[in-house]
Amino acid sequence: MSSTRTLPWVEVRPTSGRIRRRGLGRRDTLVGFLFLSPLLVGLLVFRFYGFGYNVWLSFRKAGAFGPTTFNGLDNYAELLSDSQFSVALVNTFKFCVLVVPAVAIVSLLCATLMQHRFRGETAFRVVVFLPAVCLPTAMIFAFGWLFQTQYGLVNAAIQRLGASPVSWLGSSAGVAVVVTVVVVYLSFSVPTIILYAGMQDIPTEVYEASMLDGAGPVRRYFSITLPLLGPSLFFVLLTTTIGVLKLFDVVYLLLPPEQSISVNYGMTVLYYYYQLAFLGVGQRGYAAAISLVLFVLILVVSLIMFQLQRRFVHYGEDS
Amino acid sequence: MPLRVRGLSYLLVAVVGLVILAPFAWMVITALMTTAQTLQIPPSPIPSPLSLDGAQQVLQKLPFLRLLGNTIVVSIGRAVVTLIICSLAAYALAIIKVRGARLILLVVLTLIMVPGDIFIIPSFSIVSALHLTNTLVALVLPNVFDVFGVFLLYQFFRGIPRELVEAARIDGASHARILFTIVVPVSRSGLSALAILTVLNEWKELLWPIVVNRDVDRLTLGPGIALLRGTAVTDWNVLMSAGVMAALPMILIFLVLQRNFVASFVTSGLK
List pLDDT tens digits, range B129-156.
999 999 999 999 999 999 999 999 999 9
pLDDT at residue A7 above 60? no
Is the dihedral angle over the CA atoms A127, A150, A270, B244 positive or is it negative? positive
Q: How confident is the model over B60-105, as pLDDT tens digits?
A: 989 999 999 999 999 999 999 999 999 999 999 999 888 889 999 9
CA neighbor of B141 nearest in space, from B127, B159, B155: B127
A72: exposed, middle or buried (Cβ count in 10 Å: 0-12, 13-18, 19+):
exposed
- Shortest CA distance from B16: residue in chain A: A110
pLDDT per position as a tens digit, A225-269: 888 888 889 999 999 999 999 999 999 999 988 777 788 899 999
Q: What is the pLDDT of residue A185?
A: 96
CA distance to partner chain A, nearest, from residue B76 (Å): 16
- Cβ of A135 within 8 Å of Cβ of B99? The answer is no
Answer whether residue A122 shows pLDDT above 70: yes
- Facing B203 at nearest CB: one of A46, A135, A284: A135
The residues with which A277 forms a beta bridge, in sequence order, are none
- Distance (Å, rounded) from C-alpha A104 to C-alpha A288? 32
**A106: nearest CA partner in chain B:** B16
* pLDDT, tens digit (0-9, with 9 covering 90-100), for B195-220: 999 999 999 999 999 999 988 899 99
Nearest CA in chain A to B258: A126
Mutate one of A5, A26, A35, A54 to test the B interface: name it (highest B CB count within 10 A): A35
A126 and B261 in contact (C-beta within 8 Å)?
Answer: no
Q: Tell me how long chain A is.
A: 319
- The answer to whether the CB atoms of A133 and B250 lie below 8 A apart is yes
CA angle B18/B20/B26 to nearest 5° reads: 80
Residue A31 has its nearest CB partner, among B96, B122, B271, at: B96
Q: Give yes or no for residue A2 having a pLDDT over 70.
A: no
Name every chain A residue with its beta carbon within 8 A of the beta carbon of B206: 136-137, 248-249, 252-253
pLDDT band of residue A9 (cuts 50, 70, 90) is very low
Closest among A309, A304, A163, A161 to A245, alpha carbons compared: A304
Query: Residue A231: its pLDDT value, please?
Result: 86
Distance (Å) of CA B103 to CA B83, B91, B98, B168: 22, 15, 10, 28
Q: CA–CA separation, B244 vs B224, rounded Å? A: 14
- Residue-wise pLDDT tens digits, A159-172: 889 888 888 988 99
What percentage of chain A has pLDDT greater than the value 90?
48
